[in-house]
Structure 1
Amino acid sequence: MTARRVASVLSLVLLVGAVAGGIAWRRTEVDDQVSLVAAGPYAPGAVGAPRAVAAGPLAGRTVVLDPGHQLGNHNYPRRINHLVPAGGFKKPCNTTGTSTNGGYPEATFAWRVARLVKARLVGLGARVVMTRHSNRQDRWGPCVDVRGRSGNSVDADLKVSIHGDGSFRSGAHGFHVIAPTDRKPWTHDIYRSSRRLALVLRSSLHREGVPVANYIADGDGLDFRSDLGTLNLSNIPTVMVELGNMRNPRDAHRMTTASGRATYARALARAVRTYLG
């Protein structure tokens, strides 16, 4: 038996064991890999590294994707609770994030959606900068000040921070997009452009059939906040999107399935392309 065949057999055994052990949701990582291949920039018959993208509608553009939280944040309470600059005041470095009622973490959801979006944008020719490069129990952060400044030094075109909400309100469901308020000197320069990005993103999620949040003021899917370091410290158009309420069964189903995450990824990638024209 060849080494490659042995590796394949071992992988299958591990997968079956994981399902039998009651952590079948991890299998969705495989499904997401299939979605990544379908999204590009991987050639169907390629072996190894992704094919180079010589040009595309987003060639020369730089996009920052910020997958919310980190899977191991809860293992580092002292580090994530220390205060950092957040735009004229200080806030804790980070939080643990939320989860579905079944225990599927927000950090994992945001990570998987971000990777799908990245694949699509790279396939369109964009350069994509991620604020974190892993989703592991032995990692924490980065802090909100680092996330907020990410993209500033490389003059990125925009930033999207990807999250899932955790409201316990009965019946609360749907997405909402958060943009900065107009705060001099912090966000005055990006307020209008960020609002436009928020409108484009809302429209794109609408197009994919994702429902608007029914528990946010005005019910229009938009929220403007002045208390988020990720927004306040950015010098580029930036929005944060809560793609659904992870405590709501219907939203949770969409967020924990490969097809649901692919829906979010299509909407986000289309919004970026539309915004950048």
Structure 2
Amino acid sequence: MRVVGSLILALTLAVGSGGAASALPTPERDALAGPLVGRTIVIDPGHQLGNHNFPRKIARLVPAGGFRKACNTTGTATRGGYPEATMVWQVSRMLATRLRGLGADVTLTRHSNRQDRWGPCVDVRGRAGNRAGADLKVSVHGDGSTAARARGFHVIAPTDRRPWTHDIYRPSQRLARETRAALRGVGLPVANYTAGGDGVDFRSDLGTLNLANIPSVMVELGNMRNSSDARRMTSRKGRATYARALARAVVNHLR
């Protein structure tokens, strides 16, 4: 209580004397600003709403970490037609707002959700944040499994592939486990249709992960073809739940 009281008193004195919170010493100012001050987070809202209108562009092969893959895909949708691109865009914007509120600088790999736009390609997504020295990247997706009764989320981390991911695979796998814990912590079910069944998957074929030089994960928030997951994804409350959990995972990783 003495520490909190001292912070409040210092802020009161700074404002009352014509100053501002910026007049406080750095530790006190950071405590008031939020736990992510000085951190840079990259959010990758998977796909783009208009990808299906540009089949030749998204089919172009691009580097993906020692091999080449198609630039992008159209993504999936619920049985009612709610697109993955829109769901992840809305969740990502909610997540960005939360992280900025905690003091972080946030970069999104796309800045719109429109039918007249496409991309960016997976190589651009994979390298996002590398030059800026971002602290981590979260790529947000929804799955489209047609397996019977397939539901739940899973988090994907890179394997150890020299020279591509050797420097980031351990912190990325830790971030994946923290993301799983945060999603479970808000009551979301782990996927019942992926290998291992524990909610964390390891893949070597994703350019978004292979080309990253910062800890990175891809999260499939649920199966959009499942009615239960779809109800959550199509509701603002459900999308806010995803954003809240992902923000908690970021904070836990960077503490």
| Helix, strand or coil at the partner of 1:241 | strand
Q: 1:128 aligns with which of 106, 110, 115?
A: 106
Report what 2:84 is aligned to. Answer: 106
Q: What is the CA–CA distance in structure 1 between the aligned matches of 2:35 and 2:66, rounded to whole Å?
A: 38
Question: Once the 2 structures are TM-superposed, how far is the Cα of residue 56 of structure 1 from its aligned partner?
Answer: 1.5
Q: What is the CA–CA distance in structure 1 between the aligned matches of 2:40 and 2:219, rounded to whole Å?
A: 19
Which AA in structure 1 matches 2:216?
T
| Helix, strand or coil at the partner of 1:108 | helix
Report what 1:9 is aligned to. Answer: none
Q: What is the CA–CA distance in structure 1 between the aligned matches of 2:185 and 2:59, rounded to whole Å?
A: 38
Report what 1:210 is aligned to. Answer: 188
| Alignment map for 1:1-277 (pairs within 5 Å) | 55-277=33-255
Report what 1:7 is aligned to. Answer: none
| Helix, strand or coil at the partner of 1:72 | helix
Q: What is the CA–CA distance in structure 1 between the aligned matches of 2:64 and 2:33, rounded to whole Å?
A: 37
- Moved beyond 2 Å, runs of 4+: none
The share of aligned pairs that are identical, in percent, is 72
Runs of at least 5 residues in structure 2 that lack an aligned partner in the other structure: 1-29
Q: What is the CA–CA distance in structure 1 between the aligned matches of 2:152 and 2:195, rounded to whole Å?
A: 13
Question: Once the 2 structures are TM-superposed, how far is the Cα of residue 55 of structure 1 from its aligned partner?
Answer: 2.3
Q: What is the CA–CA distance in structure 2 between the aligned matches of 1:91 and 1:164, rounded to whole Å?
A: 20
Which AA in structure 2 matches 1:271?
A
Q: How many residues align?
A: 225
Which AA in structure 2 matches 1:178?
I
- After superposition, what is the alpha-carbon deviation per residue over 1:194-230, rounded to whole angstroms, capped at 9, x for unaligned? 0000010000000000000000011100100000000
Which AA in structure 2 matches 1:264?
Y
Q: CA RMSD in A?
A: 0.9
Q: What is the CA–CA distance in structure 2 between the aligned matches of 1:126 and 1:56, rounded to whole Å?
A: 8
| Helix, strand or coil at the partner of 2:43 | strand
Q: What is the CA–CA distance in structure 1 between the aligned matches of 2:219 and 2:192, rounded to whole Å?
A: 15
- After superposition, what is the alpha-carbon deviation per residue over 1:163-192, rounded to whole angstroms, capped at 9, x for unaligned? 000000000000000000000000000010
What TM-score results when the alignment is normalised by the length of structure 2?
0.87
Larger Rg: 2
Which AA in structure 1 matches 2:195?
A
Q: What is the CA–CA distance in structure 2 between the aligned matches of 1:129 and 1:268, rounded to whole Å?
A: 15
- After superposition, what is the alpha-carbon deviation per residue over 1:35-74, rounded to whole angstroms, capped at 9, x for unaligned? xxxxxxxxxxxxxxxxxx9821100000000000000000
Q: What is the CA–CA distance in structure 1 between the aligned matches of 2:71 and 2:129, rounded to whole Å?
A: 18
| Helix, strand or coil at the partner of 2:251 | helix
- After superposition, what is the alpha-carbon deviation per residue over 1:126-170, rounded to whole angstroms, capped at 9, x for unaligned? 000000000000000000000000000100000000000000000
Q: What is the CA–CA distance in structure 1 between the aligned matches of 2:203 and 2:253, rounded to whole Å?
A: 21
Which AA in structure 2 matches 1:210?
L
Which AA in structure 2 matches 1:161?
S
| Helix, strand or coil at the partner of 2:157 | strand
Runs of at least 5 residues in structure 1 that lack an aligned partner in the other structure: 1-52
Which AA in structure 2 matches 1:114?
S
Q: What is the CA–CA distance in structure 2 between the aligned matches of 1:140 and 1:243, rounded to whole Å?
A: 22
